[in-house]
Amino acid sequence: MSKAKWWTIAAHEYAVHAKRKGFLIATFGTPLLLVAIFAAIFAFIAFGDQSNSLGVVDQAGITQKLPATVTITDTLRKDVAVIRFDDENLAKAALSKQEIDGYVVIPSDYLQSGALRGVANEGNLSSDARDRFKDYMQKALISNQPSLNDQRALEPIDQVYNRKPNSAVETSEGQGILLFFAPYLFGIFFFIAVFSSSAYLMTALVEEKESRVMEILATSLRPFELMVGKIVGLGLVGLTQISIWVGTALLAFTIARANIEGMANLTLPTNVLLIGAVMFVPAYLMVAGALGAIGASVSAVQEGQQFSGIISILMISPVWFINMIIENPNGPLALFLSLFPFTAPIVMMQRVALVSVPAWQIGLSVLLLVGMAFVMIWLSARIVRVGMLRYGKRLTLTEIRRALSLGGQHGE
Amino acid sequence: MAMLNVVDVKKSFAGTQAVRGVSFNVEPGELFGVLGPNGAGKTTTIRMILDILRPDSGSIEVLGGPMDESKKNRIGYLPEERGLYRNLKVIDCMVYLATLKGIERNEARKRASAYLERVELGHVAQKKVSELSKGMQQKVQFGTTILHEPDIVIIDEPFEALDPVNTRMVKDLLFDIRREGRAVLMCTHQMHLIEEMCDRIVMFNRGEIVLNGTLRDVRRRFAPNAVWVEGNGSFDNLPGIESVQTENGQVQLNLQAGTSPQSVFQALASRGDTSIDRFEVAIPSLDDIFVRVVNGERGQ
């Protein structure tokens, strides 16, 4: 193979696509968008429909051992102060002055009935307020158990440290959240980078067919060289994109860890990044091969997008099963999805973040992915050879079957 | 050494024979015309020469041997189905396609600039291809075909969308290529350009070559053994004349076998009551020959 020609194609594809507005917007806009989305989610959780302060009127006398104001905390939500009022009139006055968002009256027969009477301007206490009152009531009841350590009774769980069965390394609750989000985030990056680069490849092939440049290319180099050049060039585009994204994420994490007290002890799951790095190239080759074959078979970009949608659904399908994967990361579904080449990268990243995945499973997963990449590149080279000069109508299944059986022969 | 040597080449698609035993050769310094109606097998034959398709049987030699990857850089091809990268700048598009033909980038840029100046497109070098008129795009496309100075130039309808001035420009470029001892194989339906430019022609019909030779030979094969005369006076009752036809003021005198045009001319000149403005041995135009061949005639 003439190195110069495939490299010329690769350099051209890289230069053209890396300068496209769409690429620049996606590459530099995606991290900003993700930051905005996560910020919005946290803001919604932290500030959306939440109580600021609540009140309590204790007619049963069960809260006397608690301070007059008790702060109810929650991992993802802001702290809420529950203030005890001596009588309901004071609570009502505080409510009318909007010092509190609502209050409950604990009737004298509470211990028998378990019933509370809630008062709020809207008529109903919000679900957040109900959750906080539940915590408050537990604290009140526990405070009446003399044999317990008061502080521990009031805050039964301060922190949970997790570790894998055969590991001495423990992770905090924050680290657990990171272990959920990191593979999820990198999975999204991975999917977008792999799929968008492959989609560029498909679009470039169809456009070259539509614009009839393909016939010039066909007389300048072999279809295989053409495909290698495009795959390398656009692969580098995808690599540039994911490097910028991952780099930005790592930088943001480093800055956050240095400046936010709660994050100081968090460590990035490097095994997730390692799995992602190992699987990126074969995954890209596999999808690029599939989309390249589609590009060579169809006659219009729109038609190609319809077919490529099937591949994208396959790749992103693990998101539908994310709960099942997290609940049982070594279960049969998670195992299957982490071995099936089209879903393997995203699911394997999630699994290695959560549990110790046996080395043979990781090895087999990578092997199957590499194998599928070879199959897809082989298929696409055969189909490109036949479909590259087909204008105006797509290849039929019979023609594709014939192309696959042609071996090294040219045909039409 | 022939630049191209095509011997008994056949190609079928799904049971339909598109090319049926085609043979011809193209010599250095030759402008070779390929004619034929649509679907006659011309493009399939060209694609086989270029190794895009493989023949079912027969052989094709390019530049003295079988086609291989190294020879792709020595061929320039302007396909019938043509196009350029519409979103690229003209100069970048030309440079890119030239580098794929093995020309170093800076050299390609130099040649592209020189070409654009020659065809009066220097001012559009930095414009996008999509901003050019069809004629301009055609000239740019032609440039991409010859920028790498190929030994063989294969062009399909090179004058499409060109006005007479630009047609002259492209013709001059082709004549230059011929003068330099390189070969041009040209497909076109514009018969007058074939007549004007080509040394030899082949005509395809239904996958076969039905005519092959120099233009002069081909025309003679279809010549009706007649002379065309214009002038005043009577052209009747001349010796050796079988019949007289008159059309648009031109008289065609159909000669009997054995009668020469010279003897008819002498007979006319000796008549005192007849003046001759024009006397020409009747040779059919390529256009006429094309129609007749497509309708099944093979000539004499």
Residues A282 and A400 in one domain: yes
The boundaries of the domain holding residue A74 are: 50-154
Q: Is A218 on the interface with B (CB under 8 A)?
A: yes
Residues A113 and A255 in one domain: no
Helix (H) / strand (E) element for A371: namely helix A359-387
**What is the rounded distance in angstroms from the CA atom of residue A181 to the CA atom of residue A261?**
19
Question: Which residues in chain A are closer than 8 Å to B77, comparing Cβ atoms?
Answer: 215-216, 219
pLDDT at A392 over 80: no
Least CB–CB distance from A8: residue in B75, B88, B100: B100
Segments making up each domain of chain B, as ranges: 4-219, 224-282
What's the order of all strands across the beta sheet hosting B241-247? B241-247, B250-255, B226-232, B275-281
| Res A166: pLDDT | 61
Into which CATH architecture does domain B4-219 fall? 3-Layer(aba) Sandwich (3.40)
pLDDT at A2 over 60: no
Residues A66 and A125 in one domain: yes
Residues A183 and A100 in one domain: no
Q: Is A87 on the interface with B (CB under 8 A)?
A: no
Chain B residue nearest residue A384, CA to CA: B52
Residues A228 and A287 in one domain: yes
- Among A291, A183, A389, A315, smallest CA distance to B83 is for A389
**What is the rounded distance in angstroms from the CA atom of residue A406 to the CA atom of residue A400?**
10
ipTM rounded to 2 decimals: 0.79
CB atoms within 10 A of CB A127: 10
Residues A87 and A169 in one domain: no
Query: pLDDT per residue over A77-120, tens digit each?
Result: 678 899 999 999 999 999 999 889 899 999 998 888 888 999 98
Residue B299 contacts residue B228 (beta carbons within 8 Å):
no
Q: Is A390 on the interface with B (CB under 8 A)?
A: no
Residues A257 and A116 in one domain: no
Please report the beta strands in A295-397, taking only residues with DSSP state E, as ranges in sequence order.
none
B15 to chain A nearest CA, in Å? 12
Question: Which residues in chain A are closer than 8 Å to B69, comparing Cβ atoms?
Answer: 2, 221-222
In CATH terms, the fold of domain B224-282 is: Alpha-Beta Plaits (3.30.70)
Phi/psi for A275 (5° steps) reads -60, -45
| Domain count across chain A | 2
| Res B175: pLDDT | 96
Q: Residue A179: exposed, middle, or buried by beta-carbon count in 10 A (0-12, 13-18, 19+)?
A: buried
Residues A223 and A113 in one domain: no
Helix (H, G, I), strand (E, B) or coil at B26: strand
pLDDT at A161 over 70: no
Residues A30 and A64 in one domain: no
Q: What is the DSSP string of B106-133?
A: HHHHHHHHHHHHHTT-GGGTTSBGGGS-
Query: pLDDT per residue over A188-209, tens digit each?
Result: 888 888 888 888 888 888 888 8
Question: Which residues in chain A are closer than 8 Å to B99, comparing Cβ atoms?
Answer: 8
pLDDT at A331 over 60: yes
| Res A409: pLDDT | 47
Inter-chain contact B54–A412, Cβ cutoff 8 Å?
Answer: no
CB atoms within 10 A of CB A170: 11
